[in-house]
Amino acid sequence: MRAVLVHGPGDLRVEERPDPTPGDGEVLVAMEWGGICGSDLSYWKHGRSGTAQLRDPMVLGHEVAGTVVGLGPQVDGVDLGHKVTFHPATPEGDTALPERLAGRTNLHERVRYFGSAAFYPHTDGGFSQLKTVRADQVRTLPEGVTTFEGAIVEPLAVAMHAVSRAGVVAGRDVLVNGCGPIGLLAIAAARHAGARFVVAADLSPAARLIAKAMGADGVYDPSVGPLPRDVEVVIEASGVPGALQGVLHAAARGGVVVQVGNLPGVGAQSVLGDLVTRELTWIGSYRFVDEVDDAIQAIRRGLNVRPLVGGVFDIDDAEAAMRAAADPTRGGKVMLRLS
């Protein structure tokens, strides 16, 4: 089979690997689609993502979907031919979450993830023609949801988790700052949650155009004027510390700001005074719990993720796909055709 591996900074290779065989409790999936995430780009460009440092070659990709073509022993609830996507997280260790975190499995101290070098040995991802996956990580796609859409379920789950962290969104105004793929999906997720009015901000004209296609009522270019004021719910998806001053000032007094954009792990300067004087609630949002199931059902009920897609490449053109995904003048999600 062919697989997309990162060997180090700037060193991406499409290689032949032995076809895997499913073991106990595993299924074999013919992978069909994968979406390129910011963490994939970071491993390719820098050999690391956040604090996770690449030590060995690793298969990239955690936004993936395909068709079940093999079953290992002791597999129930999954059949040959099922169209599937996945929950890519595996909490590790015997330490139970404290009672105050009951059910918040994304906050386990150690969580392995498809295509992650956070732990050693690394966890291979799904940018390959075949992959074995534990049956409990498999999510069957219902009639009407394609594997192309299934590969967007994981980032949609991230966006839906961020929206849920704001509390009740129905009937409220929402600002999404930063229209990368997660911000764009947060627009759709806010609309799905019943937001009254959704506006989005980004420097990129291409991103702003897609934001409108994803359901934004209005778009802003923060380089030419301030963000709208007195917005009840703000989803900060850019991860740019310099944007925080404007974001916090845009929030209504007593409003909620959800930080889903990944902020740097080193010191960064920003003006945060409004956090206190406007008595804002600033909440972090990390991955998701079980929102993959909610995301699948949202797509089944009509949430349209297809405007998000900004390019499609074959697996053998993976490096060109990475360059396209890293191009700040392009908007949307770049997809890999894996089969």
Q: What is the pLDDT of residue 266?
A: 79
Choose the weakest-confidence range: 63-67, 156-160, 263-267, 302-306.
263-267
**Beta-strand pair 26-35/197-201:** unpaired
Candidate CATH numbers 3.40.50.300, 3.90.79.10, 3.40.190.10, 3.90.180.10; the one for domain 2-152+305-337: 3.90.180.10
The pLDDT mean for the chain works out to 96
Q: What is the mean pLDDT of residues 192-202?
A: 98
Residue 319: pLDDT over 90: yes
Q: What is the mean pLDDT of residues 171-196?
A: 98
- Calculate what percentage of the chain has a pLDDT beyond 70: 100
Q: What is the mean pLDDT of residues 82-93?
A: 95
Q: How far apart are CA 85 and CA 332, in angstroms?
A: 20
Q: Which fold has domain 156-284?
A: Rossmann fold (3.40.50)
Asked if residue 29 lies in contact with residue 146, where contact means CB atoms within 8 angstroms, the answer is no
pLDDT band at 50; cut points 50, 70, 90: confident
| Token pair listed for 272 | 């945060």
pLDDT band at 71; cut points 50, 70, 90: very high
Q: What is the pLDDT of residue 185?
A: 98
- Written as one string, the DSSP assignment of 158-219 is HHHHHHHHT---TTSEEEEE--SHHHHHHHHHHHHTT-SEEEEE-S-HHHHHHHHHTT-SEE
Residue 265: pLDDT over 90: no
For the segment 95-141, what is each residue's pLDDT rounded down to a tens digit? 889 999 999 999 999 999 999 999 999 999 999 999 999 999 999 99
Instruction: Specify the DSSP element, H or E, that contains 130.
Output: strand 130-134
44: closest CA among 103, 98, 117, 112?
117
Q: What is the pLDDT of residue 57?
A: 98
Asked if residue 270 lies in contact with residue 242, where contact means CB atoms within 8 angstroms, the answer is yes
Instruction: Specify the DSSP element, H or E, that contains 274.
Output: helix 274-277
| Token pair listed for 145 | 């949801």
Q: What is the pLDDT of residue 257?
A: 98
Domain-by-domain residue ranges, the chain? Answer: 2-152+305-337, 156-284
Q: How far apart are CA 33 and CA 336, in angstroms?
A: 6
